[in-house]
Every structure is written in C-alpha cells, then in structure tokens.
Chains A and B, each alone.
Chain A
Amino acid sequence: MTPGQRRWIFLAAMAGLAAFYLWGLRGLPGFGNYPGPYGDIINSIAVAQTKATGVVSAVNFEYRGFDTVGEEFILFVAATGMAVVLRRLRGERERNPDDPTADWAVPPASDAVRLVALIFTGPVVVMGWFLASHAQTSPSGGFQGGVVLATAFFLIYLSGQTLLFRRVSPVDLTEAVEALGAGGFAAIGVSAVAMGLPYLKNYLPLGSTPGAVSSSGTIALISFFVGLEVAAAFILIVGEMVDQTLLVRQGDR
C-alpha cells in the first residue's frame, strides 16, 4: 500500500467515525450538565466517611483502591519491562561516562542549565514529599508527588553529572525502594484481610478533623507508598535510557 492510498483509507474511516460520534453526541447531556449520580454521591459522603478533604485521593486510594493497586503494578511491570528490553546485548559494553579523553564525550551542560538545576533540586525534593504526603487534604497524592520527586534526580542528570546521578540513585537501592512501594500498598490491603476485613479496608483511625495531615487512615499511608513506587519507577526508567547512551557496540569503535 502506498502512503497516498493509506491516507485516503484513513480519511474515509475518520469521516465515518466523526459522523457516528456527532450522531452519538446528540443523545448526551451537553457540556456542563453533569447527569450524576455517582460524583455527587461521593462528593457528599466522602469527607464524612474518610475524613479526607481531597475527594479525588479518597476515590483513588479508598473507593476504587483495588483498581489503583492494579494500576500501580502496571507502572511496576513497565519499569521491569524496560530493564528486560534494554538489557545489554551481546557485543555491547559500557563506556566510562566521565572519561574526558574520549572523543564521544558530550559537551558539558551550560552554566545556565547547571545553575537552574542547582537552585531547583532542593525545592523540588521538598515539593515532591509535600505532594506525596498531603493526598488527603489538597490536590496532590502519591502519583503526582512521586513524579515530582523523580524530577529532582533528573535535574542532577541534566546538570551533566551522570556519575552523580548514579551515585544518588544506585540501581539496587532504587529497585528495592520500588519494590517496597509496590509491596507496601498490596501489604496494607492484605493486612486488612488478615484481620478478617475486606481487602484494602480502611481500618486505621481516621482522626476527627477532616483535612488534618494525620487524618484519613490508610489513604495517607497508601499515598506515601505510591509516592515511593512512582518516584523509583521513573528513576529506573530514565536510568535505563541514560545507560543506553553509554553503550558502545562492538564494531562501532
């Protein structure tokens, strides 16, 4: 099939899809006329039931917590899959990233990039921990916090410190943290079963003040573990990519 034919088939199919979609839209309530009822019900009961004022987190880590376990393990499996797909193939060896004599050495990061990385690394770590530990109160949670936390490590890499990036996030340690995060979430669920409660039942004291950092029982704890898992998974994923830039294939040089 030539690219031209491919394009015409696509345009015909897309016209059909658009026609059906617009036809289907006629039966939907218009934008802004939310029909409910689930969102409204959860909004009205979540704060009293869970003592969490961030209802999105309450949904993620409590009402549909079982789904979130599965989702967290998608990330876990993806990081593992990266390691498998990007394993060192026969005939590949690793360069020393800080060997100044090699002619493949990348030019050092500019002063502007290094300064920005230096200024932002600390605040980004604080921001990440803040987000991961305040799922129950404000628009935040383990997923967002974990990604922000991982960004701090990428800033170190961006500033040209490949070796330092590896020293502050050694692969073994990062993998252990990832396993702790993923396993911690699942273990909270299983511990409820051990007490004769449903899986992932929120059995910890909820606290009396909605929105306090210590409130909402397992929601805060799960968010913490998710933060660990997400940060470690993204560091591993980017670390795998970084390692690829250090590989030389036999025959290349």
Chain B
Amino acid sequence: MHIVPFVVVVWILAVGLYGIVTSRHLVHLIMCLIVVQSSTYVLLLGVGYKTGAVAPYFYDIPVHTPAVDPVVQALALTDVVVEGAVTALLLALAIQAQKRFGTLDPHELVQLKG
C-alpha cells in the first residue's frame, strides 16, 4: 500500500505545530499556522487522487476519461482563499499587539496580561 503522501501530511502538520509551540514571534507563529493549514491541501488532493487519471477538465478530452475527484479540488481552492483572509486578519492583530504592548513575543505578551 502506497501511503507516502499521507505521511507527508502528518509531517507538515507536525513541523507547523512545533513551530507554533516554540515560537518567539507572532509573525513567525502566523507563518507556522499557514504551514499547518498547508497539510490539509496535501490531504485533500491526496484522497482524491486516482492513479493514471487526469485533471477534471474536459475541454479537449472525451468526457469519460478517468479524472481525479473534482470535489476535493474545489475544497482545496476554498481552503486557500480562507487561509488568505485569516492570515490577513491575524497579521492585523499582530500589528495592533505591537502598537499596544511594544512586543511581538508571545511569552512576554502572556506575562503582560497575566
């Protein structure tokens, strides 16, 4: 059984989470969150893949050519857009944290607020 892509998924998830747990800078932490979310793209595209199949676009190929699952591809697309929006909002919050507390280190921020 071929499981390498699924092992890659959990590897990306793990390195992203490790970055979040050990992060000393909010912008670095947000980038790690992006890495964590990237693992879902690999998982989604991985479960929809069919050996030897083509992309689900039938512009110049016959309709019944074996193609990969278009539903998970649509979900991955959704995922990318939401990630962009969430990242922008988090970065805005990081800007305000810097303005208000003068630091972007999560440990110092925790000490400030108790």
Residues of A within 8 A of B (CB): 3, 6-7, 10, 14, 17-18, 21-22, 25, 28, 30-34, 36, 38-40, 42-44, 46-48, 53-56, 58-60, 64, 67-68, 71, 74-75, 77-79, 81-82, 85-86, 89, 137-139, 141, 143-144, 147, 210-211, 230, 233-234, 237, 240-241, 244, 249
Q: How far is the CB of A87 from chain B (nearest CB, A)?
A: 10
Please measure, in the bound complex, the distance between the C-alpha atom of A18 and the C-alpha atom of B58, giving whole angstroms.
39
Please measure, in the bound complex, the distance between the C-alpha atom of A213 and the C-alpha atom of B6, giving whole angstroms.
38
**Contact status B74-A3, CB under 8 Å:** no
Q: How far is the CB of A232 from chain B (nearest CB, A)?
A: 13
Q: How far is the CB of B111 from chain A (nearest CB, A)?
A: 12
**Contact status B2-A30, CB under 8 Å:** yes
**Contact status A82-B92, CB under 8 Å:** yes
| Interface residues of chain A: helix, strand, loop or mixed (majority) | helix
| Interface residues of chain B: helix, strand, loop or mixed (majority) | helix
**Contact status A56-B2, CB under 8 Å:** no
**Contact status A82-B59, CB under 8 Å:** no
- Asked if B101 is an interface residue, CB under 8 A from chain A, the answer is no
Chain B neighbourhood of A147, CB < 8 A: 84
**Contact status B67-A138, CB under 8 Å:** no
**Contact status A7-B21, CB under 8 Å:** yes
Q: Which of B10, B48, B64, B85 has the most CB of A within 10 A?
A: B85
Interface positions, chain B 54-96, Cβ under 8 Å from A, are 55-59, 63-64, 67-74, 77-78, 80-82, 84-86, 88-89, 91-93, 95-96
Chain A neighbourhood of B55, CB < 8 A: 139
Q: How far is the CB of A196 from chain B (nearest CB, A)?
A: 28
Chain A neighbourhood of B57, CB < 8 A: 53-56, 138-139
Residue from the list B53, B71, B92, B96 in contact with A42, Cβ < 8 A: B71
Chain B neighbourhood of A79, CB < 8 A: 85, 88
Nearest first, the 8 A-B pairs at minimum CB distance are A39-B69, A78-B85, A32-B51, A30-B1, A55-B56, A34-B50, A55-B70, A59-B74
**Contact status B56-A241, CB under 8 Å:** no
Range class of the B interface residue count = 35 or more
Please measure, in the bound complex, the distance between the C-alpha atom of A162 and the C-alpha atom of B46, giving whole angstroms.
42
Residue from the list B69, B85, B86 in contact with A38, Cβ < 8 A: B69
Q: How far is the CB of A207 from chain B (nearest CB, A)?
A: 14
**Contact status B58-A210, CB under 8 Å:** yes
Q: List 11 A-B contacts (CB under 8 A).
A: A30-B3, A31-B2, A33-B51, A34-B48, A34-B69, A43-B70, A55-B67, A64-B74, A82-B88, A82-B89, A85-B89
**Contact status A10-B18, CB under 8 Å:** yes
Closest chain B residue to A249, Cβ basis: B99
Q: How far is the CB of A88 from chain B (nearest CB, A)?
A: 11
- Given A53-B57, A78-B88, 8 more A-B residue pairs with CB atoms under 8 Å apart are A3-B107, A10-B17, A32-B49, A34-B50, A55-B56, A81-B92, A237-B85, A240-B92
Q: How far is the CB of A183 from chain B (nearest CB, A)?
A: 18
Chain A neighbourhood of B86, CB < 8 A: 78
Please measure, in the bound complex, the distance between the C-alpha atom of A36 and the C-alpha atom of B90, giving whole angstroms.
37
Q: Which of B22, B63, B71, B81 has the most CB of A within 10 A?
A: B81
**Contact status B81-A230, CB under 8 Å:** yes
Closest chain B residue to A86, Cβ basis: B92
**Contact status B2-A74, CB under 8 Å:** no
Please measure, in the bound complex, the distance between the C-alpha atom of A211 and the C-alpha atom of B81, giving whole angstroms.
25
Please measure, in the bound complex, the distance between the C-alpha atom of A54 and the C-alpha atom of B86, giving whole angstroms.
28
